[in-house]
Amino acid sequence: SLINFARGPIVVEQDLRTALDATHLQHAVLDVFAVEPLPPDSWQWTHPAVTVLPHCSAPTDKESAAQIVAGNVKRYREQGLLPAGVNRQQAY
């Protein structure tokens, strides 16, 4: 698997797609891309082995973040609901 939170062009996106399609990599979590915002027709949006993150960062308060994560886990376990993800209309 690959997690890319880096900045700058360190992942060759076509090579990543080839590795995922050939199952040399099981999954990729991506927060940065060669073109941003990620265009709506980019393969990363629909590839089953890719998770696109919203590309936002800020200082994190551990206590409030833990409460948010715990609440999300609880809602998922009790109701099967996940928090809102990427807004495809805004490409983030």
Query: What integer is the mean pLDDT of 15-19?
Result: 98
Band of the pLDDT at 83, cuts 50, 70, 90? confident
- Find the catalytic residue in 7, 47, 75, 88: 7
- Find the catalytic residue in 17, 27, 47, 55: 55
Residue 92 buriedness (CB in 10 A; 0-12 / 13-18 / 19+): middle
> Is the pLDDT reported for residue 74 higher than 90?
yes
Q: Is 55 considered catalytic here?
A: yes
Tell me how long the chain is: 92
Report percent pLDDT > 70 for the chain.
89
What span, in angstroms and rounded, lies between the C-alpha atoms of 56 and 58? 7
Question: 26-64, pLDDT tens digit by residue?
Answer: 999 999 898 888 899 999 999 999 999 887 766 778 888
> Is the pLDDT reported for residue 80 higher than 60?
yes
